[in-house]
Structure 1
Amino acid sequence: MSVLGFAALFLVAGSAHSQSAEYRRGYDQGYRDGAAAAGNQSPYPNGMGQITISSALYGIRGARCDARDSLQALVAGKRRIDVKVDNDLCGDPAPNQANKQMTVTYSCGNGSERRVSGPEGSILTIGCR
């Protein structure tokens, strides 16, 4: 095969790959649109999908604040997020106290609940596959 023939084959193969990636994006969007039109909350199978926060408590025993609403706003439309555990989520429920902790209970689509927790200053990963 000549160099010119090889170059032409390479360009055609690259174009076919681009078309297949574009086709796949369109197919995925069509699936999501169809699932939404059918009334499904999530087009993902159980255990997958967008994050829904059930509870998010931050602080120490006897002094906690509810960070659920602010955390839900951060994860809206996402399937994975890293969140720093600090006073920015709902204030400081226990000023000048050490050992504050955040515990988050969440679900992915229609999947079962999951729980993550960590101390003040740590990063929690909240995610769905």
Structure 2
Amino acid sequence: EKTEHALRDYGLHLGIAFQMVDDQLDYLGTPEELGKNIGDDLAEGKVTLPLIVAMRNGQPDQKAFVEDAIRNGGVENLPEMIQLVKATDALKYTSEQANTERCEALACLNNVADSEFKDSMNTLVNFVVDRHH
């Protein structure tokens, strides 16, 4: 049962880390690298961690800009949004949080017996956080 809980928690932290990196890449990657358009989350009006942090750290006019972009969707202002999430350290914060989730996932593996499967899970979480696509 201890192993079962450890694996469940590992999966949770892995999934959160994956999503954070995915949200970050929406502002850092290129369509060629990602295999999808950049700014898709913004175009769909999705509230992601980088946007939340940009609103929290930004000036009132920057917060309003993000809120309008989420409300209206689209990527017309994507270059400005990319600048904003960088200027407010939103991408840095998102990266740090993804790394925290990686550490939590790896800590969960301490409760799993050594095996090639455990080694693969270790490799997987590092790939997920370190990926650029």
Larger Rg: 1
> Does TM, normalized by the shorter one, top 0.5?
no
Name the structure with the higher strand share: 1
Q: More helix per residue: 1 or 2?
A: 2
Q: Which has the higher contact order (CA 8 A, sep 6+)?
A: 2
Which TM-score tier does this pair reach, normalised by the shorter chain? under 0.3
TM-score normalised by structure 1 residue count: 0.27
